[in-house]
């Protein structure tokens, strides 16, 4: 039974190699096999064992194609396969039919003298099979050539597209995009809101592509960023160091401007003159004087301060003893030390902080 399929080149054994080989012919076949991956005409081999378990073959025809396949480093190659039990008559018929359709002459003397093999009906039937197989093989080769040609055209077109992409100029909006990112990171709420307002006026939309939105000027300049940063730092300092009256004045002023209890920091200005650095400095001096009063003041002066803060008489006496004992061991560093010394609540401490020092204590 004859079959036609791809076989592994390494599974083919050569028992009778050709004595002479044309190097130019081998080169031509090698170049052809490198492109088509298919031999024409196909190799003729005989299986050396059972069809189910054996995958080793003896080369009967196509030594030049076999050598070219090795040179082209092909793993597999197409071949007509005769089984181990196929007769010599069938083999001769196939080899002669292959030779009549092949431009490569590898006919041995033994094959040319066996012309009587074509006289039987079995030989004629096998010849028809071989002819059909060769025609199918030729059609496959033609289709393969068309596919290879299409692939080459696709590669050429892709190379042209890549060249056009590489030749495109760089984006001119890159600088604008970087400025907008900087505005989002460093700009104040008022500046970002102005940007959105400008975009809405231009396109009547709440959001637009970045390439169609320009930065507001001159509010988005680096110098404006710096000024706003100073204002923010002053406000943070007011929150950390300002008195309740100063912070309340800030919120009152914000409420008058926008009729809201809370506003974005960029729309709230510091109250003047109470929120000025000079006011902070005066308050700081008052705190330092009260600490000096605790460390250096007499009992009468400290008691006078407690009276002014409306501390009960019995509580005053207890506080005085504790303060005198405390400062003998460790001087007061800040008014917060009163919390641990007198075990008072935060509200009582705030009263003492807001209460001025008695006139009898002069630094």
Tokens at 183, concatenated: 């505005």
- CATH number, domain 3-156: 3.90.1530.10
pLDDT tens digits along 75-90: 999 999 998 888 888 8
Walk along the chain (363 residues) and give the pLDDT tens digit of each residue. Answer: 788 889 999 999 998 776 677 888 889 999 888 888 888 788 999 999 888 888 899 999 888 889 999 999 999 999 999 988 888 888 888 888 877 665 544 433 334 334 433 344 544 555 666 677 777 767 777 777 788 787 788 778 777 777 777 776 655 566 788 888 888 998 888 899 888 888 864 544 444 444 444 545 544 445 555 566 778 888 888 888 888 888 888 888 876 454 444 445 444 454 544 445 555 566 778 888 888 888 888 989 888 888 888 888 888 888 888 998 899 888 888 888 888 888 888 888 888 888 888 888 866
Q: Which residue has the tokens 């190799």?
A: 43
Apex 276 CA angle, 271 and 279, nearest 5: 115
Q: Residue 62: left if φ>0, alpha if ψ -120 to 50, beta else—which one?
A: left
Contact between residue 65 and residue 77 where contact means Cβ atoms under 8 Å apart = yes
Tokens at 164, concatenated: 């056009």
Instruction: Tell me how far apart the alpha carbons of residues 268 and 97 are, in angstroms, rounded to a whole number.
Output: 102
Model pTM score = 0.33
Tokens at 248, concatenated: 């309340």
- Phi, psi torsion values for 47, nearest 5 degrees: -70, 135
Radius of gyration for the alpha carbons in the chain, expressed in angstroms and rounded = 52
pLDDT tens digits along 191-201: 998 888 888 64
For residue 355, give Cα distances in angstroms to 326, 351, 358. 21, 6, 9
Instruction: Tell me how far apart the alpha carbons of residues 80 and 6 are, in angstroms, rounded to a whole number.
Output: 9
**Alpha carbon 150 to chain centroid distance?**
35
List the beta strands (DSSP E) in the chain. 3-8, 12-13, 43-47, 57-61, 76-82
Complete DSSP assignment for 102-117: -SS----HHHHT-GGG
Which has the closest alpha carbon to 88: 51, 50, 126, 132?
Answer: 126
Where are the chain's structural domains? 3-156, 178-219, 221-275, 281-354
**Alpha carbon 155 to chain centroid distance?**
29
pLDDT the model gives residue 57: 93
């Amino acid at each position: 039974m004859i079959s036609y399929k791809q076989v592994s080149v390494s599974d083919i054994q050569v028992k009778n190699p050709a004595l002479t080989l044309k190097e130019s012919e081998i080169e031509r076949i090698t170049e052809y096999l490198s492109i088509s991956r298919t031999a024409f005409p196909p190799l003729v081999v005989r299986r050396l064992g059972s069809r189910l378990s054996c995958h080793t073959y003896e080369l009967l025809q196509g030594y030049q194609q076999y050598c070219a396949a090795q040179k082209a480093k092909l793993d597999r190659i197409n071949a007509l396969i005769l089984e181990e039990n196929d007769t010599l008559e069938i083999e001769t018929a196939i080899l002669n039919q292959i030779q009549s359709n092949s431009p490569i002459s590898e006919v041995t003397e033994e094959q040319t003298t066996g012309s009587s093999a074509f006289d039987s009906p079995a030989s004629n039937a096998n010849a028809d099979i071989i002819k059909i197989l060769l025609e199918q093989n030729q059609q496959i080769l033609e289709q393969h050539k068309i596919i290879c040609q299409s692939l080459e055209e696709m590669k050429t077109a892709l190379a042209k597209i890549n060249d056009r992409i590489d030749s495109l100029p760089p984006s001119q909006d890159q600088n604008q995009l970087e400025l907008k990112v900087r505005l989002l990171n460093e700009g104040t709420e008022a500046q970002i809101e102005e940007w959105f307002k400008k975009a809405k006026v231009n396109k009547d939309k709440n959001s637009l592509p970045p390439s169609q939105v320009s930065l507001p000027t001159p509010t988005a300049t680096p110098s404006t960023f710096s000024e706003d940063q100073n204002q923010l730092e002053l406000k943070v300092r007011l929150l950390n160091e300002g008195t309740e009256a100063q912070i309340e004045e800030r919120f009152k002023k914000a409420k008058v401007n926008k009729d809201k209890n809370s506003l974005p920091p960029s729309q709230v200005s510091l109250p003047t003159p109470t929120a000025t650095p000079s006011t902070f400095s005066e308050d700081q001096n008052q705190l330092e004087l009260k600490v000096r009063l605790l460390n250096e003041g007499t009992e009468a002066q400290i008691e006078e301060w407690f009276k002014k803060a409306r501390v009960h008489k019995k509580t005053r006496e207890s506080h005085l003893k504790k303060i005198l004992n405390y400062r003998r061991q460790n001087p007061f560093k800040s008014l917060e030390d009163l919390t641990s010394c007198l075990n008072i609540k935060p509200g009582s401490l705030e009263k003492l902080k807001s209460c001025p020092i008695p006139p009898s204590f002069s630094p």
